[in-house]
Amino acid sequence: MKYHLITLGCQMNISDSERVAAVLESMGYQRTENEEEANLLGMLACSVRQKPIDKVYNKISQWNKAKNKRNLITFLSGCVLAADKEKLLKQFDIIFPMSELSQFPDMIRSYGIVNAASLRVAEPKPVMPKNEHIVDLWQIKPKYQSSYEAFVPIQNGCDKFCTYCAVPYTRGREVSRPSGDIVAEVRHLVNQGYKSITLLGQNVNSYGLDKQGEEVSFSELLRQIGEYGNQSGEEFWVYFTSPHPQDMTRDVIEMIAEYPCLANQIHLPMQSGDEKVLIKMNRKHSMDKYRKIVDDIRELLPTATLFTDIIVGFTSEGDKEYQHTVDAFHEFKFNMAYIAMYSPRPGAASYRWQDEVSQDVKKERYHDLSEVMKIYTREYNESMVGKTIRLLVNGSDRKTGHSMGLTEGKIQVRLDRKAPELMGKIVDVKITQAADFSMSGELVLQEETVNE
């Protein structure tokens, strides 16, 4: 028996998919990238934007047509809004929330592999979300997709209720994973030779706030991981995403500055540079608050890279409000910004409001802001030319076959040669050229690095 799994959306869905894979393979299923070979076809959905949900509808239409030719079962999990779930209930055989993954084998067994006609008329048996059971999901040991990069969930859900966001309606309220389990998973990964570990949550720096008095704070969690990093004697980088400016405190930045294994890279979503738009977004942080955090980063982590998330064309964003976002880009000089054009999501508060900004204006602002970003990404990359940095080799260029990797600050570097033997290793590289979003470099002391 074989399964085919499609994962859409964020790193949390990728992490969840590793646990889905572990459950299926414990049942005897084997993974296949060819869906024509699979008896079990599944998707982890993302309702944050319309495009991934469109992919779900298109794919299930294809899969249901395939039932005319062979026996198969379809399933759906991940982030699914109630409105989408209601429409999809009769199209997928099984729909379940990730918090109920431990029950998934029983759901599959209740179907069995039966004839195609029976599957077409079978009533779906969805399990409705119960976020309090998310801890059961975290007890499942994941089947990691990489031998050197891993995602470790520390928190699920969000209590912020930004007016544009669907996450509270797909992931539920905030629940923190036991810190002992988190540190144990990090220790296991380091002992297995992993070099890049990302702590995941919808709002990681609110970690522990739902269990005050019972659980440690986010900064204390980082301290425990940092202490283990010092004890291990291993070189590895720990990242976290995504934090919220409202909960970002100076002591978190101090921990990163103190412990070498805590990577000098901060992803700090701003969403807009305009105060009125931030209020309408219900972001709960001002630009002065955001500016203070960036000042702390520049003071304590002078070599850190700074990433952000931005929405252009949010309801009521005029030219003046948009210009404030442009001004913020010039001020903060982000190393990377993930820019999205606003699209109303069912369930989010802004879905009830008139979408006042035309699609043409959104596209214009998207491209304009991308050009502003290029000024500072290239400026930083050019400042690195001639410097020798550490690089985690994690892939190869499709055109040249030359090895590629990421710096500690998550900037992409293309190497001057093919070096497949270095995959998953951290090596010294001298930067020789800069581009808008990447750099090129040559390996330093290659023979010594390989023999480490």
Q: Which residues contact 374 (CB under 8 A, 6 or more apart)?
A: 436, 437
Considering only 111-125, 212-226, 273-287, which range has the smallest mean pLDDT? 111-125
Burial (0-12, 13-18, 19+ Cβ within 10 Å), 291: middle
Helix (H, G, I), strand (E, B) or coil at 226: helix
CATH of domain 388-450: 2.40.50.140
| Res 30: pLDDT | 94
Q: What pLDDT sits at residue 446?
A: 53
What is the average pLDDT score of the chain? 90
Residue 452 has a pLDDT of 43
Q: What are the pLDDT digits (tens) for 308-319?
A: 999 999 998 999
3-state secondary structure 143-161: CCCCCCEEEEECEECCCCC
Per-residue pLDDT reduced to its tens digit, 181-191: 999 999 999 99
Task: Locate the domains of the chain by residue range.
Answer: 2-131, 264-383, 388-450
**Superfamily covering domain 2-131:** Methylthiotransferase, N-terminal domain (3.40.50.12160)
Is residue 41 scored above 60 in pLDDT?
A: yes
Q: What's domain 264-383's architecture?
A: 2-Layer Sandwich (3.30)
Percent of the chain with pLDDT over 70: 94
Q: Work out the pLDDT band at 359, boundaries 50, 70, 90.
A: very high
> Contact at 8 Å (CB) between 183 and 215?
no
367-400 tens-digit pLDDT? 999 999 999 999 999 999 999 999 999 999 988 9
HSE-up of 219 (CA within 13 Å, CB side)? 11
